[in-house]
Chains A and B, each alone.
Chain A
Amino acid sequence: MSDAIAIADLNKRYGSVQALKDVSLSVQRGEFFGLLGPNGAGKSTLINIIGGLTRFDSGTVTVLGRNVVTDYRFTRRKIGVVPQEVVFDPFFSVREVLRIQSGYFGLGRASDAWIEELLHVLMLIDKADANMRSLSGGMKRRVMIAQALVHKPEVVVLDEPTAGVDVELRKSLWAFIRRLHDQGHTIVLTTHYLEEAEALCERIAILNHGELVALDSKRALLARGIGKTMRLCITTENPIGALPDALSQKVRRREGNRIELQLQKDSDSIIQVLDALRTHGAVITNFGVEEADLEDVFVELTHRSQA
């Protein structure tokens, strides 16, 4: 059986910027796939190409075995894309938007029942006849998700669906996406929130500067970090000033009198680090050691590819 999405040797250039460079990856049917990368890594370009929104220079992209360029009618019917930016048509109500979107896919009034179901599931039913302009940002985002699902696509691609949404909505969106996955949809999710990818995705690709720097199962990616690195979180009485050079390179996060250092398990000594800080005048009030998470792996991989 063909993959849900297969990408081979994909290249895309915007003027002098190589947005995607020889990217090859595949997403299996029924998989929950994460696409990670810093800003400008090429995630949205890749998603836009899969959805047919952007032309590419070379390579091949297929959805359920069919080419997204030559067989675009088939592939666009099989894929539902939720764009990253919150965009909407200010002329129409929520229900009108969904009926129109359904019509584009050749579905008539027969899809009305499904539209009503989407309105209920995404908690939009009270606003079904309200103009899009009157909706809150979170509601507009849910309408975009409904638009992507209106033709019941097998593959659902969500480009940072929880960017800028509050914690409550993020949780409810996670639950909804999980439900879609449980119903058999293939999910491709790009996100900035590594916690999100860690919680949801089975396999993860990391893009950086248009290149694929990692593609593995979440477990294998975490193992890369867990085996080798650890995180030392230190709280001091007063905020720490400038750090010795050897330590400043290991700083992962710094906030007031709290500092997080990323240490190599086999070469860094916690005792020596604490001693160095004390020698530097810091009064340590508390410290803890945490195992690496996806963020450490991400930072390590994206930094390594920049070097």
Chain B
Amino acid sequence: MNTLGLYTLFYKEVLRFGKVLLQTLIAPVITALLYLLVFAQVLEGRMEVFDGVSYTAFLVPGLMMMSVIQNAFANSSSSLIQSKVTGNLVFILLAPLSHLEFFLAFVLASVVRGLIVGLGVFAVAVFFVPIPFHSIGLLLLFGFLASAVLGTLGMIAGVWAEKFDQLAGFQNFIILPLSFLSGVFYSIHSLPDFWQVLSRFNPFFYMIDGFRYGFFGVSDVSPLFSLSVVGISLLILTGVTLLMLKAGYKLRD
């Protein structure tokens, strides 16, 4: 195992987003804050969520997880597509790094960015509404797994896409709708039956629902079931990504 090589690639990926903090950390926190202000203002008291939980408090974990999801995906996918388009990916491909080390470095950097943005959203949100903690362990576990899933999905998209346009398509037609329709702004129990059933096929719903359980101890489905869905999603996507990397798909053609 080339541990220092893995660490260096991870460090480089973290340093990369650290050099553009305004875009990678501050902007997503402000976006989440705007959602919080607008939706809380309009829907507080009008939307039925969990017993004893205000709508604004309910909204915070959803917005946190939505930011985690979008930023973890953006980190690995944009880094890969930029390196591919500009050609500097060659310097990583020439290095004695295995496909597993390559994978771990990119995904872990995505996890770091996802969690920092999530934490940033929380740090701002607590100024507006008190938020309880039910299980910090579960919060960290869901935060880690969700950002790892999206970091992995970002790798698949980044490896597959040959131009920015294709990546934007992946982001706008898959990631964005799935994250908006996952219960960020509502409990799925407030939806008609058809949409409730459909929501249960959206893996992002389980990330948000399990994460919300970590704060309130209440959720739409069992947190153990959500954990299983997110964990299995991560395993499947990891398998697909490792196969792509091992075969050199679109990287070493």
Contact = CB atoms under 8 A, between A and B. Distances in A.
Interface of A: 14, 51-55, 72-74, 76-77, 81, 83, 85, 87-92, 96, 100-101, 103-108, 147
A91 B16 contact: yes
A52 B93 contact: yes
B124 interface: no
A106 B94 contact: no
Interface string B76-102: 000000010011101111111110000
Given A87-B91, A106-B3, 19 more contacts: A51-B94, A54-B252, A55-B248, A55-B252, A55-B253, A73-B98, A91-B15, A91-B19, A92-B19, A96-B15, A103-B5, A103-B7, A103-B11, A104-B2, A104-B8, A104-B92, A105-B5, A106-B96, A147-B91
B182 to A, nearest CB: 32
B76 to A, nearest CB: 15
Interface string B7-41: 11101100110011000000000000000000000
Contacts, number: 79
A106 B2 contact: yes
B248 A76 contact: no
B16 to A, nearest CB: 5
Given A52-B252, A104-B92, A104-B95, A88 B2 contact: no
Interface in B208-253: 248, 252-253
A52 B2 CA distance: 17
Interface residues of B, number: 29
A184 B3 CA distance: 30
B109 to A, nearest CB: 13
B42 interface: no
Contact of B87 (A52, A77, A85): A85
Residue of B4, B94, B96 with most partner-chain A CB within 10 A: B94
Nearest to A132: B88
A72 B101 CA distance: 14
Contacts of A108: 4
Contact of B95 (A83, A89, A105): A105
B4 A87 contact: no
Given A105-B5, A108-B4, A100 B12 contact: yes
Given A53-B94, A103-B7, A90 B252 contact: no
Interface string B166-180: 000000000000000
Nearest to B249: A55
Contacts of B98: 73
Contact of A104 (B5, B16, B86): B5
